[in-house]
A and B are shown apart, each in its own frame.
Chain A
């Protein structure tokens, strides 16, 4: 039997569409990130965690719920690494297994306010469940 877990780093890299070997650890992505202060694993660290195969830490990171998809990290990376896409890949791997959504539909619905634009509601539902 193959251990399917052994493929998870590859799976995450494929799902992100990014090449972590291009990273030169300059940290510009995290310097640009408006959410870095709220993250337990910062954008540039996603690359190193994945490089050493520590997928578990990434799947349990609160960074998945702090990233805003603002693409400042993608824009500023001099090597085209796309840290936001890595975070998204981890987020998808975290919420896709049955029952693992970050917020249930009931929890998310309870957060709605009457004046919220549809854009906000749809975006949040896409990200959390």
Chain B
């Protein structure tokens, strides 16, 4: 099973653990992750303005490479996944967008035919959660884990096609597969405040504390996330442990995760 891998800016820097544990776990599960050459930062937020073209070109370059090789493109980061899927959708639905890209640079002409996946989708749909369950050597039995979906994985669901935006199950199913106990809490798909924590950290803190109060009353002992920004905003409040899902996966698979990764 070969996939192109788009790490993105944060996984090469502040969220190395998310990256390293993804690569380790992929190896153990028979998934070949080939880092896509010359990838550029996706821009972290999907540009909503209909006239914005240049900010979408980094995504187009990666998408086109994957489409030409007919190899699915996989990401770990909620934001990269969000941006790549939405830009790909623009290429699928808008002839005007495709034409503008082709006029800007004929070498970038792109038809939207790449398959974009989040690693969670690879684990569910290509490996299979039951296959993962068979390979678990350190089941986190009795650990109660809350899935923190946040916003970017799920919405808008028509484009993301990741899971049911109001009642998702994919991360809970993943938690089950690694032998732990998933805890559902109402605010698992609420926003952590996102980039607001640059200019208004007190607002992000308030939003995260609301979510964390809900987590604590649900009995969850730990949260898992795919998003470095959720990990940062929630982690700042630090009354509940929040970990990257790939780290928990690598540990459950019995892999040696180097410290200070």
Measured between beta carbons, the chain B residues less than 8 angstroms from A65 are 199
Knowing A68-B191, A71-B156 touch, does A15 contact B50 (C-beta < 8 A)? yes
Question: Is B170 at the interface (CB under 8 A from chain A)?
Answer: no
Q: Once the chains are docked, how many angstroms separate the CA of A34 from the CA of B227?
A: 19
Question: Is B72 at the interface (CB under 8 A from chain A)?
Answer: no
Measured between beta carbons, the chain A residues less than 8 angstroms from B207 are 34
| B50 touching A119, Cβ below 8 Å | no
Q: Once the chains are docked, how many angstroms separate the CA of A84 from the CA of B48?
A: 8
Q: Once the chains are docked, how many angstroms separate the CA of A116 from the CA of B49?
A: 26
Partner of A103, one of B15, B48, B199, B228: B199
Q: Once the chains are docked, how many angstroms separate the CA of A122 from the CA of B41?
A: 9
Q: Once the chains are docked, how many angstroms separate the CA of A121 from the CA of B190?
A: 21
Say what secondary structure dominates the interface of chain A. Answer: helix
Partner of B48, one of A75, A85, A108, A119: A85
| A69 touching B157, Cβ below 8 Å | no
Bitwise interface map of B from 223 to 253 toward A, beta carbon under 8 Å scored 1, else 0: 0000111011000000000000000000000
Question: Is B13 at the interface (CB under 8 A from chain A)?
Answer: yes
Residue of A nearest to B8 (CB): A119
Partner of B198, one of A17, A70, A115, A116: A116
Measured between beta carbons, the chain A residues less than 8 angstroms from B151 are 68, 70-72
Question: Is A128 at the interface (CB under 8 A from chain B)?
Answer: yes
Measured between beta carbons, the chain A residues less than 8 angstroms from B41 are 118, 122
CB within 8 Å of B: which A70-106 residues: 70-72, 74-75, 84-85, 88-89, 92, 103
| A119 touching B228, Cβ below 8 Å | yes
Partner of A71, one of B51, B155, B229, B231: B155
Residue of B nearest to A77 (CB): B156
Bitwise interface map of B from 16 to 46 toward A, beta carbon under 8 Å scored 1, else 0: 0000000000000000000000000101111
CB within 8 Å of B: which A101-129 residues: 103, 108, 111-112, 115-124, 126-128
Measured CB to CB, the residues of A under 8 A from B are 14-17, 34, 38, 65-66, 68-72, 74-75, 84-85, 88-89, 92, 103, 108, 111-112, 115-124, 126-128
